[in-house]
Amino acid sequence: MLSKAARAGRTEIGGFLIGKIGRNKIIITRATFPRQRGTRTHVTINDADMAILAEELAERGTGEVIVGWHHTHPGLGVFMSSTDVSTQQRYQAFFPEAIALVMDPMKFAQTLDMDDLDLRIYRVDGRKEYELEYEYAHNPAEIIPDLFGIMLSLEETSEVVYKDTWFEKMLQEVFGERITTPEFSWGLGNFLEAFVAFGAVMLLCIFVVLALLGLFV
């Protein structure tokens, strides 16, 4: 989920939680990311994918079921909006033990400290949500090294990690500071590199033409 959140940046994403119920606990085994449309403050998940997933889980016979849903609030903090509460009510209507996992990964992206990962799990009673206790089944420290490179791509990081090339140095000299938006620097880079390449080709063509003219004159 952290990897997906990193790639999404400030776009809200969501999906389904798959797991099992046993010994008075819900064990989340994995998270899925169905077809969806996200904005800065909203995500819409394709409902048909939930039915397809439930059918696939039943066919596998592993005992796994859809135990809830998850979504991010990038940079906004963790809470249950009125829309979230309504969505959770629908989940609990089909599966009373269903849970809602809400995560804001932005602070964690800066520190890579699990204590800074703002992640909470909710259930609702009527129109009121309440928080559930949870624990990690595996040592999260083992996951951190694999996430380090991915999480640095989040918008909220202090600066983009540039490769030490002439092009990035030129950008810094032109703008006076490093560009902090990955998408902008990538797009600008492609444009300028293409422009430079086109200019080089045109100069070469002019040189060839002048050389040929020199031979015939």
Query: For the whole model, what pTM was predicted?
Result: 0.64
Q: How many C-alpha atoms does 164 have within 13 Å on its Cβ side?
A: 0
Q: Which residue is it, tokens 């998940």?
A: 45
What's at 165, amino acid-wise?
Answer: T
The sign of the CA dihedral 89, 117, 43, 56 is negative
- Residue 161: pLDDT over 70: no
Which of 73-77, 121-125, 138-142, 148-152 shows the highest mean pLDDT?
121-125
Chain center to CA of 32: 13
In angstroms, the CA 52 to CA 124 distance is 26
- Report the phi/psi class of residue 63: left, alpha or beta, with left for phi > 0 and alpha for psi in -120 to 50: left
Provide the pLDDT confidence category of residue 123 given band limits of 50, 70 and 90. very high
DSSP-H helix ranges across the chain: 2-8, 47-60, 82-94, 106-111, 144-151, 166-175, 182-216
Backbone angles phi, psi at 21, to 5 degrees: -115, 130
- Residue 190: pLDDT over 90: no
* Residues contacting residue 12 through CB under 8 Å, at least 6 positions apart: 38, 39, 40, 41, 42, 43, 71, 72, 73, 74
- Residue 167: pLDDT over 50: no
Tell me, what's the pLDDT at 130?
94
Tell me, what's the pLDDT at 199?
75
Q: What is the DSSP letter of 158?
A: S
Provide the pLDDT confidence category of residue 151 given band limits of 50, 70 and 90. very low
Q: Which residue is it, tokens 């008075």?
A: 24
What's at 68, amino acid-wise?
Answer: G
Whole-Å CA distances, 205 to 149, 184, 193, 194, 201 = 42, 32, 18, 16, 6
